[in-house]
């Protein structure tokens, strides 16, 4: 299951760094955080914070290259999970297998608009994800 890289990044940031810390819910804080973490991930440690910064192509394509053979036979998008899962199960004639509809976790509320710089950093870092999964 893959997710829109921006949504994935923001969800992790909210969950890990905004909980009960309203002062961190700002476009400026997010931009600084993005710069710090993606610079570190690019330079030395893409596995930081429990691998939340690893591009999804690393999990789904050989050598993390979307032009290489896929590792995963099936790739579903989180945004279309229920529909994709139903089609996948039907392709194996498993029509009685269903996903539950309940969402069990949410990130803390922090409705901000990321700066253009933040969006650009995420777009550049996750360029292969955007390309491979059509985001």
Domain ranges of the chain: 5-133
pLDDT of residue 18: 75
The dihedral built from the CA positions of residue 19, 22, 24 and 25, taken in this order, carries a sign that is: positive
DSSP reduced 3-state for 119: helix
DSSP reduced 3-state for 124: helix
pLDDT of residue 106: 63
In DSSP terms, 2 is beta-bridged to 77
pLDDT of residue 36: 95
pTM: predicted TM-score of the whole model, two decimal places: 0.87
pLDDT of residue 105: 59
pLDDT of residue 62: 95
DSSP reduced 3-state for 102: coil
Mean pLDDT (10-residue bins), the chain, 135 residues: 97 81 86 95 83 94 93 96 96 92 67 96 97 96
Rounded to whole angstroms, the Cα distance separating 57 from 69 reads: 11
Query: What does the DSSP assignment read for 27-89?
Result: HHHHHHHHHHHHHHHHHT-TTHHHHTTS-THHHHBGGG-TTSPBS-S---BGGGHHHHHHHHH
């Amino acid at each position: 299951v893959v997710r829109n890289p921006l949504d994935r990044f923001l969800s992790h940031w909210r969950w890990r760094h905004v909980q009960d810390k309203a002062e961190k819910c700002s476009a400026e804080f997010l931009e600084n955080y993005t710069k710090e973490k993606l610079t570190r991930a690019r330079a030395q440690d893409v596995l930081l914070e429990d691998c939340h910064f690893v591009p999804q192509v690393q999990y789904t394509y050989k050598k993390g290259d979307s032009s290489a053979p896929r590792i995963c036979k099936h790739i579903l998008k989180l945004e279309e999970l229920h529909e994709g899962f139903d089609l996948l199960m039907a392709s194996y004639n498993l029509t009685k297998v269903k996903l539950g509809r309940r969402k069990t976790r949410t990130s803390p509320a922090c409705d901000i608009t990321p700066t253009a710089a933040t969006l650009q950093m995420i777009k550049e870092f996750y360029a292969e994800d955007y390309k491979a999964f059509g985001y």
